[in-house]
Structure 1
Protein backbone atom coordinates (compact mmCIF):
# COMPACT_ATOMS: atom_id res chain seq x y z
CA UNK A 1 0.00 0.00 0.00
CA UNK A 2 1.03 3.59 -0.63
CA UNK A 3 1.58 5.43 2.62
CA UNK A 4 2.60 8.89 3.72
CA UNK A 5 3.18 10.23 7.24
CA UNK A 6 2.95 13.92 7.98
CA UNK A 7 3.56 15.77 11.24
CA UNK A 8 0.97 18.54 11.55
CA UNK A 9 1.93 21.41 13.85
CA UNK A 10 -0.57 24.18 14.39
CA UNK A 11 1.19 25.86 17.30
CA UNK A 12 3.99 27.93 15.88
CA UNK A 13 5.22 31.48 15.82
CA UNK A 14 5.54 31.93 12.04
CA UNK A 15 3.41 34.67 10.50
CA UNK A 16 3.15 35.59 6.84
CA UNK A 17 1.78 38.63 5.07
CA UNK A 18 0.83 39.57 1.53
CA UNK A 19 0.84 42.95 -0.15
CA UNK A 20 -2.58 44.45 -0.62
CA UNK A 21 -3.21 44.63 -4.41
CA UNK A 22 -5.19 47.88 -3.93
CA UNK A 23 -2.46 49.55 -1.85
CA UNK A 24 1.02 48.14 -2.45
CA UNK A 25 2.36 49.69 0.78
CA UNK A 26 -0.14 47.90 3.02
CA UNK A 27 0.20 44.31 4.27
CA UNK A 28 -2.75 41.95 4.62
CA UNK A 29 -3.30 38.33 5.56
CA UNK A 30 -2.60 35.90 2.70
CA UNK A 31 -5.73 34.29 1.23
CA UNK A 32 -6.81 30.77 2.25
CA UNK A 33 -4.97 28.12 0.26
CA UNK A 34 -1.63 29.94 0.40
CA UNK A 35 1.31 27.54 0.59
CA UNK A 36 4.79 28.61 1.65
CA UNK A 37 7.39 25.99 0.73
CA UNK A 38 10.65 27.91 0.31
CA UNK A 39 12.86 30.50 2.03
CA UNK A 40 11.49 29.94 5.58
CA UNK A 41 11.29 26.15 5.38
CA UNK A 42 14.11 23.75 6.13
CA UNK A 43 16.01 22.91 2.93
CA UNK A 44 16.82 19.42 4.24
CA UNK A 45 13.20 18.53 5.02
CA UNK A 46 10.07 17.97 2.95
CA UNK A 47 7.97 20.59 4.73
CA UNK A 48 5.66 23.50 4.02
CA UNK A 49 3.33 25.99 5.67
CA UNK A 50 -0.34 26.14 4.73
CA UNK A 51 -2.81 28.93 5.39
CA UNK A 52 -6.10 27.12 5.08
CA UNK A 53 -8.55 29.49 6.77
CA UNK A 54 -9.39 33.18 6.98
CA UNK A 55 -8.61 35.18 10.09
CA UNK A 56 -11.64 37.12 11.22
CA UNK A 57 -9.45 39.23 13.47
CA UNK A 58 -5.72 39.75 13.74
CA UNK A 59 -3.05 37.78 11.92
CA UNK A 60 -3.71 34.41 10.35
CA UNK A 61 -1.65 31.57 11.83
CA UNK A 62 -0.24 29.06 9.32
CA UNK A 63 -0.05 25.33 9.96
CA UNK A 64 3.31 23.62 9.48
CA UNK A 65 3.36 20.26 7.68
CA UNK A 66 6.46 18.08 7.80
CA UNK A 67 6.31 15.02 5.54
CA UNK A 68 8.45 12.43 7.33
CA UNK A 69 7.57 9.40 5.19
CA UNK A 70 6.24 9.48 1.66
CA UNK A 71 5.65 6.43 -0.48
CA UNK A 72 2.47 7.82 -2.08
CA UNK A 73 4.04 8.73 -5.38
CA UNK A 74 2.31 12.13 -5.30
CA UNK A 75 4.10 15.17 -6.64
CA UNK A 76 4.91 17.82 -4.05
CA UNK A 77 2.22 20.23 -5.26
CA UNK A 78 -0.37 17.41 -5.26
CA UNK A 79 0.49 16.54 -1.64
CA UNK A 80 0.15 20.21 -0.71
CA UNK A 81 -3.21 20.51 -2.48
CA UNK A 82 -4.42 17.31 -0.82
CA UNK A 83 -3.66 18.69 2.64
CA UNK A 84 -5.55 21.89 1.76
CA UNK A 85 -8.57 19.90 0.56
CA UNK A 86 -8.53 17.76 3.71
CA UNK A 87 -8.95 20.97 5.73
CA UNK A 88 -12.45 21.23 4.21
CA UNK A 89 -13.51 17.82 5.57
CA UNK A 90 -14.53 18.74 9.10
CA UNK A 91 -18.30 18.67 9.07
CA UNK A 92 -18.91 20.49 12.37
CA UNK A 93 -17.71 23.76 10.83
CA UNK A 94 -19.02 25.43 7.65
CA UNK A 95 -15.61 26.54 6.34
CA UNK A 96 -12.06 25.34 6.39
CA UNK A 97 -10.16 24.62 9.60
CA UNK A 98 -6.45 24.90 10.39
CA UNK A 99 -5.71 21.18 10.26
CA UNK A 100 -6.99 18.36 8.05
CA UNK A 101 -10.35 17.03 9.18
CA UNK A 102 -8.93 13.63 10.13
CA UNK A 103 -6.56 15.33 12.60
CA UNK A 104 -9.40 17.28 14.19
CA UNK A 105 -11.55 14.15 14.53
CA UNK A 106 -8.62 12.29 16.12
CA UNK A 107 -8.13 15.19 18.55
CA UNK A 108 -11.81 15.16 19.53
CA UNK A 109 -11.79 11.40 20.00
CA UNK A 110 -8.67 11.50 22.18
CA UNK A 111 -10.18 14.30 24.29
CA UNK A 112 -13.45 12.41 24.72
CA UNK A 113 -11.67 9.21 25.71
CA UNK A 114 -9.47 11.03 28.21
CA UNK A 115 -12.35 12.95 29.79
CA UNK A 116 -15.30 10.62 29.88
CA UNK A 117 -14.81 7.07 28.66
CA UNK A 118 -13.77 4.97 31.61
CA UNK A 119 -15.53 1.89 30.26
CA UNK A 120 -16.00 0.35 26.84
CA UNK A 121 -18.73 2.02 24.73
CA UNK A 122 -21.87 0.02 24.11
CA UNK A 123 -21.54 -2.44 21.23
CA UNK A 124 -24.35 -0.68 19.31
CA UNK A 125 -22.04 2.34 18.99
CA UNK A 126 -19.14 0.38 17.50
CA UNK A 127 -19.83 1.52 13.91
CA UNK A 128 -21.08 5.06 14.75
CA UNK A 129 -19.24 8.35 15.07
CA UNK A 130 -20.77 8.83 18.53
CA UNK A 131 -17.83 10.89 19.80
CA UNK A 132 -18.75 13.88 17.63
Structure 2
Protein backbone atom coordinates (compact mmCIF):
# COMPACT_ATOMS: atom_id res chain seq x y z
CA UNK A 1 0.00 0.00 0.00
CA UNK A 2 2.77 2.47 0.95
CA UNK A 3 4.75 1.95 -2.26
CA UNK A 4 1.80 1.49 -4.65
CA UNK A 5 -0.55 4.21 -3.37
CA UNK A 6 1.75 6.79 -1.78
CA UNK A 7 5.14 6.21 -3.39
CA UNK A 8 6.82 5.60 -0.03
CA UNK A 9 9.67 3.12 -0.22
CA UNK A 10 9.42 0.44 2.44
CA UNK A 11 11.47 -2.47 3.73
CA UNK A 12 10.13 -5.01 6.20
CA UNK A 13 12.16 -7.23 8.49
CA UNK A 14 11.36 -9.50 11.38
CA UNK A 15 11.43 -7.93 14.83
CA UNK A 16 12.16 -11.37 16.25
CA UNK A 17 15.14 -11.86 13.94
CA UNK A 18 16.53 -8.40 14.66
CA UNK A 19 16.13 -8.98 18.38
CA UNK A 20 18.10 -12.19 18.14
CA UNK A 21 20.85 -10.35 16.28
CA UNK A 22 21.14 -7.78 19.04
CA UNK A 23 21.29 -10.49 21.69
CA UNK A 24 23.66 -12.67 19.62
CA UNK A 25 21.21 -15.57 19.69
CA UNK A 26 20.47 -15.69 15.97
CA UNK A 27 21.69 -19.04 14.72
CA UNK A 28 22.02 -20.57 11.27
CA UNK A 29 20.94 -24.05 10.21
CA UNK A 30 24.10 -25.54 11.72
CA UNK A 31 23.43 -23.92 15.08
CA UNK A 32 26.26 -21.40 14.82
CA UNK A 33 25.68 -17.87 16.09
CA UNK A 34 25.24 -15.35 13.28
CA UNK A 35 26.75 -11.93 14.06
CA UNK A 36 24.80 -8.72 13.61
CA UNK A 37 26.91 -7.14 10.87
CA UNK A 38 26.06 -9.50 7.95
CA UNK A 39 22.34 -9.18 8.70
CA UNK A 40 22.51 -5.38 8.83
CA UNK A 41 24.68 -5.27 5.70
CA UNK A 42 22.03 -7.26 3.85
CA UNK A 43 19.36 -4.78 4.95
CA UNK A 44 21.59 -1.84 3.95
CA UNK A 45 22.05 -3.23 0.43
CA UNK A 46 18.29 -3.61 -0.01
CA UNK A 47 17.70 -0.05 1.18
CA UNK A 48 20.42 1.22 -1.15
CA UNK A 49 18.77 -0.41 -4.18
CA UNK A 50 15.36 1.02 -3.29
CA UNK A 51 16.88 4.52 -3.29
CA UNK A 52 18.57 4.06 -6.65
CA UNK A 53 22.02 3.11 -5.42
CA UNK A 54 24.39 0.50 -6.85
CA UNK A 55 25.66 -2.38 -4.72
CA UNK A 56 27.85 -4.22 -7.20
CA UNK A 57 29.55 -3.51 -10.51
CA UNK A 58 31.68 -5.66 -12.78
CA UNK A 59 34.90 -3.76 -13.37
CA UNK A 60 35.31 -2.79 -17.01
CA UNK A 61 31.90 -4.07 -18.10
CA UNK A 62 30.82 -0.72 -19.56
CA UNK A 63 33.93 -0.64 -21.71
CA UNK A 64 33.31 -4.18 -22.92
CA UNK A 65 29.63 -3.87 -23.75
CA UNK A 66 29.63 -0.23 -24.78
CA UNK A 67 26.23 1.42 -25.03
CA UNK A 68 24.04 -1.65 -24.68
CA UNK A 69 20.60 -2.24 -23.19
CA UNK A 70 20.31 -5.51 -21.28
CA UNK A 71 16.74 -6.79 -21.23
CA UNK A 72 15.54 -9.72 -19.17
CA UNK A 73 12.05 -11.21 -19.46
CA UNK A 74 10.07 -14.04 -17.91
CA UNK A 75 6.52 -15.21 -17.19
CA UNK A 76 5.50 -16.70 -13.85
CA UNK A 77 2.42 -18.90 -13.69
CA UNK A 78 0.06 -19.65 -10.78
CA UNK A 79 0.79 -22.86 -8.92
CA UNK A 80 -1.37 -25.97 -8.84
CA UNK A 81 -3.08 -24.82 -5.64
CA UNK A 82 -3.97 -21.35 -6.89
CA UNK A 83 -7.57 -20.14 -7.07
CA UNK A 84 -9.40 -20.25 -10.39
CA UNK A 85 -8.85 -17.14 -12.46
CA UNK A 86 -5.45 -16.23 -11.01
CA UNK A 87 -3.48 -14.85 -13.99
CA UNK A 88 0.10 -15.37 -15.04
CA UNK A 89 2.41 -12.38 -14.63
CA UNK A 90 4.93 -11.23 -17.25
CA UNK A 91 7.83 -8.92 -16.45
CA UNK A 92 10.63 -7.18 -18.35
CA UNK A 93 13.63 -5.49 -16.73
CA UNK A 94 16.31 -3.29 -18.27
CA UNK A 95 19.37 -1.37 -17.14
CA UNK A 96 19.46 2.42 -16.97
CA UNK A 97 23.24 2.84 -16.68
CA UNK A 98 26.26 1.85 -18.73
CA UNK A 99 27.75 -0.30 -15.96
CA UNK A 100 24.53 -2.36 -15.71
CA UNK A 101 24.26 -1.80 -11.97
CA UNK A 102 20.77 -0.27 -11.94
CA UNK A 103 17.69 -1.95 -13.39
CA UNK A 104 14.05 -0.89 -13.61
CA UNK A 105 11.14 -3.11 -14.59
CA UNK A 106 7.67 -3.37 -16.11
CA UNK A 107 5.01 -6.01 -15.51
CA UNK A 108 1.70 -7.06 -17.03
CA UNK A 109 -0.99 -9.65 -16.31
CA UNK A 110 -1.44 -12.29 -19.01
CA UNK A 111 -4.95 -13.01 -20.27
CA UNK A 112 -4.14 -16.70 -20.73
CA UNK A 113 -2.27 -18.41 -17.91
CA UNK A 114 -1.14 -21.22 -20.22
CA UNK A 115 0.76 -18.97 -22.62
CA UNK A 116 4.51 -18.54 -22.16
CA UNK A 117 5.05 -15.86 -24.82
CA UNK A 118 4.46 -12.36 -23.45
CA UNK A 119 1.30 -10.71 -24.76
CA UNK A 120 2.05 -7.03 -24.11
CA UNK A 121 5.77 -7.32 -24.68
CA UNK A 122 6.25 -4.35 -27.01
CA UNK A 123 4.88 -1.74 -24.60
CA UNK A 124 7.15 -2.99 -21.82
CA UNK A 125 10.18 -2.84 -24.11
CA UNK A 126 9.23 0.71 -25.04
CA UNK A 127 9.18 1.61 -21.33
CA UNK A 128 12.65 0.13 -20.83
CA UNK A 129 14.06 1.95 -23.86
CA UNK A 130 12.55 5.25 -22.69
CA UNK A 131 13.82 4.73 -19.14
CA UNK A 132 17.40 4.43 -20.38
CA UNK A 133 17.01 7.41 -22.70
CA UNK A 134 15.62 9.61 -19.92
CA UNK A 135 18.65 8.83 -17.75
CA UNK A 136 21.17 9.19 -20.61
CA UNK A 137 20.85 12.32 -22.79
CA UNK A 138 17.60 11.29 -24.53
CA UNK A 139 19.32 8.77 -26.78
CA UNK A 140 17.93 5.29 -27.44
CA UNK A 141 20.40 2.45 -27.25
CA UNK A 142 20.89 0.86 -30.66
CA UNK A 143 22.23 -2.43 -29.24
CA UNK A 144 20.01 -4.73 -27.17
CA UNK A 145 20.97 -7.99 -25.51
CA UNK A 146 17.75 -9.83 -24.69
CA UNK A 147 17.81 -12.60 -22.07
CA UNK A 148 14.66 -14.72 -22.05
CA UNK A 149 13.83 -17.28 -19.40
CA UNK A 150 11.16 -19.96 -19.30
CA UNK A 151 10.68 -21.03 -22.93
CA UNK A 152 11.12 -24.56 -24.24
CA UNK A 153 13.04 -25.56 -27.34
CA UNK A 154 9.80 -25.97 -29.30
CA UNK A 155 9.13 -22.24 -28.82
CA UNK A 156 12.44 -20.84 -30.04
CA UNK A 157 11.23 -19.87 -33.51
CA UNK A 158 8.01 -18.39 -32.14
CA UNK A 159 10.06 -16.35 -29.68
CA UNK A 160 12.28 -15.06 -32.44
CA UNK A 161 9.41 -14.21 -34.77
CA UNK A 162 7.31 -12.55 -32.09
CA UNK A 163 9.21 -11.10 -29.14
CA UNK A 164 12.49 -10.33 -30.90
CA UNK A 165 10.50 -8.67 -33.68
CA UNK A 166 8.62 -6.62 -31.07
CA UNK A 167 11.93 -5.18 -29.84
CA UNK A 168 12.62 -3.84 -33.33
CA UNK A 169 9.10 -2.45 -33.62
CA UNK A 170 9.38 -0.73 -30.25
CA UNK A 171 12.65 0.91 -31.28
CA UNK A 172 11.23 2.01 -34.65
CA UNK A 173 8.26 3.72 -32.99
CA UNK A 174 10.39 5.52 -30.39
CA UNK A 175 13.10 6.53 -32.85
CA UNK A 176 10.78 9.23 -34.18
CA UNK A 177 10.59 10.72 -30.67
CA UNK A 178 14.36 10.51 -30.13
CA UNK A 179 15.86 11.67 -33.45
CA UNK A 180 19.43 11.72 -32.09
CA UNK A 181 19.32 7.92 -31.91
CA UNK A 182 20.55 5.47 -34.54
CA UNK A 183 18.12 4.64 -37.34
CA UNK A 184 17.82 0.96 -36.39
CA UNK A 185 18.55 -1.43 -33.53
CA UNK A 186 20.70 -4.57 -33.39
CA UNK A 187 19.38 -7.38 -31.21
CA UNK A 188 21.13 -10.37 -29.69
CA UNK A 189 18.60 -12.79 -28.19
CA UNK A 190 19.67 -15.44 -25.67
CA UNK A 191 17.41 -18.02 -24.04
CA UNK A 192 18.35 -19.05 -20.50
CA UNK A 193 17.11 -22.59 -19.81
CA UNK A 194 17.12 -24.24 -16.39
CA UNK A 195 14.76 -27.16 -16.97
CA UNK A 196 17.19 -29.76 -18.23
CA UNK A 197 18.94 -32.85 -16.90
CA UNK A 198 22.56 -31.94 -17.69
CA UNK A 199 24.99 -32.08 -14.76
CA UNK A 200 28.77 -31.84 -14.64
CA UNK A 201 31.21 -33.51 -12.27
CA UNK A 202 34.93 -32.83 -11.72
CA UNK A 203 37.29 -35.41 -13.22
CA UNK A 204 39.90 -34.86 -10.51
CA UNK A 205 39.96 -33.78 -6.89
CA UNK A 206 39.75 -30.15 -8.00
CA UNK A 207 36.25 -29.74 -6.61
CA UNK A 208 34.48 -27.97 -3.79
CA UNK A 209 35.17 -29.73 -0.49
CA UNK A 210 32.12 -31.22 1.13
CA UNK A 211 29.78 -31.57 -1.84
CA UNK A 212 32.04 -32.57 -4.74
CA UNK A 213 30.61 -30.01 -7.16
CA UNK A 214 32.63 -28.29 -9.84
CA UNK A 215 33.85 -24.86 -8.83
CA UNK A 216 31.74 -21.83 -9.82
CA UNK A 217 32.66 -20.47 -13.23
CA UNK A 218 32.56 -23.81 -15.05
CA UNK A 219 31.73 -23.24 -18.73
CA UNK A 220 31.09 -26.04 -21.24
CA UNK A 221 30.61 -25.29 -24.95
CA UNK A 222 31.51 -28.61 -26.61
CA UNK A 223 30.39 -32.22 -26.53
CA UNK A 224 26.89 -31.75 -25.12
CA UNK A 225 25.89 -28.59 -26.99
CA UNK A 226 23.46 -28.07 -29.86
CA UNK A 227 24.43 -28.65 -33.51
CA UNK A 228 21.95 -25.95 -34.56
CA UNK A 229 22.60 -22.99 -32.23
CA UNK A 230 25.56 -21.34 -30.55
CA UNK A 231 25.07 -22.39 -26.95
CA UNK A 232 26.88 -23.07 -23.70
CA UNK A 233 26.37 -24.36 -20.18
CA UNK A 234 27.50 -22.11 -17.35
CA UNK A 235 27.63 -23.07 -13.68
CA UNK A 236 28.09 -19.67 -12.06
CA UNK A 237 27.08 -20.64 -8.53
CA UNK A 238 28.01 -23.02 -5.75
CA UNK A 239 25.44 -25.72 -5.09
CA UNK A 240 25.01 -25.68 -1.32
CA UNK A 241 23.06 -28.93 -1.33
CA UNK A 242 23.14 -31.67 -3.91
CA UNK A 243 24.55 -31.32 -7.40
CA UNK A 244 24.90 -27.82 -8.85
CA UNK A 245 22.70 -27.29 -11.91
CA UNK A 246 24.20 -25.19 -14.73
CA UNK A 247 22.18 -22.73 -16.77
CA UNK A 248 21.94 -23.41 -20.49
CA UNK A 249 22.41 -20.33 -22.70
CA UNK A 250 21.15 -20.61 -26.30
CA UNK A 251 21.86 -17.76 -28.74
CA UNK A 252 18.81 -17.50 -31.02
CA UNK A 253 19.88 -14.39 -32.88
CA UNK A 254 23.04 -12.29 -32.87
CA UNK A 255 22.89 -9.10 -34.90
CA UNK A 256 25.48 -7.43 -32.66
CA UNK A 257 28.00 -10.01 -33.86
CA UNK A 258 29.52 -11.49 -30.73
CA UNK A 259 32.11 -14.20 -31.21
CA UNK A 260 31.95 -17.39 -29.15
CA UNK A 261 34.56 -15.94 -26.77
CA UNK A 262 32.55 -12.72 -26.50
CA UNK A 263 29.46 -14.65 -25.49
CA UNK A 264 31.47 -16.60 -22.94
CA UNK A 265 33.55 -13.90 -21.34
CA UNK A 266 31.91 -10.56 -22.03
CA UNK A 267 28.25 -11.33 -21.49
CA UNK A 268 27.37 -14.49 -19.60
CA UNK A 269 30.18 -14.62 -17.05
CA UNK A 270 30.14 -10.89 -16.37
CA UNK A 271 26.41 -10.28 -16.12
CA UNK A 272 25.49 -13.48 -14.26
CA UNK A 273 27.96 -12.66 -11.49
CA UNK A 274 26.31 -9.29 -10.85
CA UNK A 275 22.98 -10.23 -9.29
CA UNK A 276 21.15 -7.28 -7.79
CA UNK A 277 20.45 -7.87 -4.10
Give the TM-score range, shorter chain: 0.5 to 0.7
* Residues in 2 aligned to 1:22 and 1:41: alpha-carbon distance in whole angstroms: 24
How do 1:30-41 and structure 2 match up within 5 A? 30-41=214-225
TM-score (norm 2): 0.30
* Residues in 2 aligned to 1:36 and 1:22: alpha-carbon distance in whole angstroms: 16
Deviating more after overlay: 57-66 vs 71-80: 71-80
Q: Deviations over 1:56-101 (max 9, x none)?
A: 1210001011100001222111112211211122221xxxxxxxxx
Q: Deviations over 1:30-79 (max 9, x none)?
A: 21111111111112221111101011121000101110000122211111
TM-score (norm 1): 0.60
Alpha-carbon distance, 1:22 to partner: 6.1
1:16 aligns with: 200
* Residues in 1 aligned to 2:199 and 2:206: alpha-carbon distance in whole angstroms: 21
4+ residue runs over 6 A deviation:
none
Are 1:71 and 2:71 counterparts? no
* Residues in 1 aligned to 2:240 and 2:206: alpha-carbon distance in whole angstroms: 20
Larger radius of gyration: 2
Structure 1: state its 5+ residue gaps. 93-132
Which structure features the higher share of helix residues? 2
2:162 aligns with: none
The two structures, once aligned, show a CA RMSD in angstroms of 2.0
* Residues in 1 aligned to 2:189 and 2:255: alpha-carbon distance in whole angstroms: 9
Report the number of matched residues. Answer: 89
Are 1:83 and 2:268 counterparts? yes
Q: Deviations over 1:4-46 (max 9, x none)?
A: 00011112111111123369xxx93221111111111112221
Contact 1:15 1:60 in 2 (8 A): yes
Bigger relative contact order (CA 8 A; separation at least 6): 1
